[in-house]
Amino acid sequence: MIWLIGLGGVAGTLARFYGGKWMNARTGSSFPWGTWAINISGSLLLGILFGLHEAGRLSEGVWLTLGTGFCGAYTTFSTFGHETVQLVSNGQTRRAALYVLSSVVLGLASAGLGLAFF
């Protein structure tokens, strides 16, 4: 089963890397939209997957591949922390505060929304 987590992790890492680059290239903003969108969408997806798994509608293998592997690699707390510190270091304290607040509130709300489907 470990290989399933690894397989999902590779896919999640690639989706985060290319998805984040794509989003940041489109916005042209100093706000880290790529990481923000990935963390929010990943929270929603994990909530949905967890709900399916808890309801017995998702096998253990699929849960490990998508929930643990993909979502674990797709979402990123370390990049979120680094980007927040960068914003503060660049004197963009309000943007940093907005980033932190919106990431936490919307991330939790998205996970809850995903779970609420089940």
Output the average pLDDT for the chain. 97
Would the pLDDT of 1 be above 90? no
- Do residues 59 and 2 lie in contact, with contact meaning Cβ atoms separated by under 8 Å? no
Q: How far is CA 14 from the centre of its chain?
A: 13
**Better-predicted residue by pLDDT, 117 or 87:** 87
> Is position 72 annotated in a ligand binding site?
yes
pLDDT at 118: 78
> Is position 19 annotated in a ligand binding site?
no
Beta-carbon contacts of 28 under 8 Å, excluding residues fewer than 6 positions away, are none
Q: Whole-model pTM? A: 0.93
Where exactly are the structural domains of the chain?
Answer: 2-116
In the chain, DSSP assigns E strands to none
